[in-house]
Structure 1
Amino acid sequence: MDYVEDTARNIYRAMRKGEPGEEYLIASEPRRLDEAFDIAEELTGIEAPRSVPGSVFRWLGHAISGVETFTRPPAGFESELLYFFDTGDVLVDNSKARRDLDIEHRPLREAVRQYLEWELDQQDMRPLVEMQH
């Protein structure tokens, strides 16, 4: 969950500073969706949506696994994806990119605040409450 400007800047750094043939993980540290929702709630005063416990996705993954032995589930309901939602985390090691490319990511709170401001601007809306910085 990275801010688009950070991603674009880090791709540019990889193109300019990276070694040909090398692979770089430019993603930030693992972040959970509920973290972003909690920050959005703090910033806006609007209650965050409730999240589904990971165990529900694990159970669904097991069920769909059985279904996949004889048919293909609809896109987005594959057992592999459901198991992914059970963990919620994507473990990445971006140390090589940080070391070789000097990649940077803004803090999640700042990224969420800037995204919400952008989204409101696109809709020509004003926030219901003043967003905290």
Structure 2
Amino acid sequence: MATVQFELVDGLAMGEGDKRVVHTAVILRTLTAGDLEDAALEAERVIRDADGGATIATSPVLMSNGILRRQIQKIGGMMGPLPAPLLRTLSAVDLELLQAQAETLDAAARKAVEAAMLRGRSEEPAAGI
């Protein structure tokens, strides 16, 4: 599983007073199918319509945050996934940095899959076909 390591700008503060620690070191990892499924399920909400019927709606924000939380393998000494309440305490700068690094990691993973799918394929049509 591919990973990327980097430092947050403001960090994740945990604890209070003398025990307050700011974690800045981050390791992100590539996603699994299970990560995507879990994030999707977590982002679903049952909504009642005017007639009392139920509809399932998925929040794109909750889905995106759920995926990102699961990509966090480690922040400081804390293993991921990062709990949602802690993700909400990050600065906008750090959240943007996490998202940018995750997008870079995702793009590299997609490129590797595309390359693997092309391996062994020829641009030329097979003889006799």
Q: What TM-score, normalized to structure 1?
A: 0.26
Instruction: Specify which structure has the higher proportion of helix.
Output: 1
Instruction: Specify which structure has the higher proportion of strand.
Output: 2
- The structure with higher relative contact order (CA 8 Å, sep 6+) is 1
| Max Rg structure | 2
